[in-house]
Structures are given as structure tokens and as C-alpha cells.
Structure 1
Amino acid sequence: MSEPVLIPNPGDNTVKLGTQTFEVKPLSIGRLKRAKKAFQSALQELLQNVAALQGAQVDEGNVGSIVAQAGGLLDLIFDSIPELFTAFVPGLDPALFDEDDGPTVPQLLDAAHVIVRVNGFDKLPNMLRQATMANR
């Protein structure tokens, strides 16, 4: 029998983003499916931008173009962060990410660890390894 995803101590599932505190709860499959659709196109665009930057030859004529592509890549990343976290953190307003006292990078990294643990994503590598070992 599998263990429950939520840890008995509710404080272990709280995250601080900006000056606010939120409780992270496991997402339903339906909500995960809707979130997947939103992130799939952003990920595809991100990978295309990365591939274009990797293949770019740097010379004086195209430096401006490369800088613009890199800026577009950063815009895509920064625009995706609120969407990603609001999908996993109930009650989180995406406008918080535009405020001066909004989430910091260390807070986002800590929140990501809690989100991964609460939703059981940290158990996936072991489950996949066990499944592949059983099929041998």
C-alpha cells in the first residue's frame, strides 16, 4: 500500500512567496492535464529558441538578432513562471510576480521542492526504475 502524499504536519506543505504564505496541496489529474496543455506550447517554444541560439554563429552582423532571441527566451521563461506556480499553489495571484515585494528566486526554488514532494513527483524516478527492472 502506498503512503499518503501529504505529510501529517501541515506546516511542512507551506511556501512563502513574496510576503505571503500558501498551503500546497496535491493537484487532481484533471487540473494536471489542463496545466500540461498550457505548458506544452511554452516548452516547445522554449526548446525552439534554445536550439536557434545554439546553432547561431556569432559575428558582428547578427549580434543584435542573438541578443533579441536571448531576450525573447528570458521573456518566455519569466512569463511561464507565474503560470506554472499558480497551477500548483492554490490562491496564488499571478499579479504577485510583478510586485517589488513578490517572490524571490530562492523562494521559488523552495516552493518547487515542496510542490514536487506534495504531488509525489519525487517518487517517479524510483517507480520508473522499479518498473523497468521488473520487465527485464
Structure 2
Amino acid sequence: MSSAPPRELTREVLGLFAAVNRRYLEEFEAAAGAHQLTPLQTKALQAAESPVPMREIAARLHAEPSNVTAIVDRLTARGLVERRPAAGDRRVKLVAATEAGLAVVADLRARMPFAGSPLAALDSGQQEALRDLLRLVLES
């Protein structure tokens, strides 16, 4: 175990966060680019793997619903998703991946072993401990 001074340890930890984020983004963007998708289009397509309301996609993307409409329009034009009325409320529009969209999602998953599961090297107890530590850092 290293006994680095607190300032150096903080710098090292922040550098590791940046490296994890960089690796995640590089892999994610390369997989999306292989299908000529933007990162937001990719995330919307992944969210639509099971039929989901447009507002849920907006929440997952942290985006305005009007921006999500444009993203879904582009995915629809490419035949990757379709809009469906919700069974219980026809005013609610669900977005669902088509067969072609599901094939792209499967390929994305195959191209993103790290981004798809960046905590795979940790067992469940370690993942929970990391989550708890990160919550503690954010709460301070």
C-alpha cells in the first residue's frame, strides 16, 4: 500500500477517474461512429431496446424533450426505432427499437466491452463500496 501525501493521492485518484472516463468515452464514441451515430443517438437507441416513453429517454439523456424528438426523428428515418402509442394512454408515445435497431444495439454492446461494463473487474461488494465512497465524496 502506498502512503502518498494527501495532495499527491488526490491528484492520482483524479487522474484515474479521468483515465476511466477517457477510456469509456473513446470506446463508446468509436462504437457509435461505426454506425454513424452520435453519442446521444446511441444512448437513445440503447434506451429504446425495450419500448420506452419519450420522456423517459429525455430523462436518461438529461436532455430537453424537444431535442429528444429530433434525435428520435433521425433514428426513425434510419429505420432503427419506431414510435408506438402506449396501450393505456394513446397520447403517450413509446419509442421502440426495430429489428435493425436491435441488431445495432447488439453490435454496439460487442464493440464496447469496457464501456458496457466498466466495473466488471470488481466483485459486487467492491462495486457497492465504490458506489458508497463516491456518494460520500459527492455529499461532502
Give the TM-score of the pair, scaled to structure 2. 0.34
- Structure number with greater CO (CA < 8 Å, separation at least 6) is 1
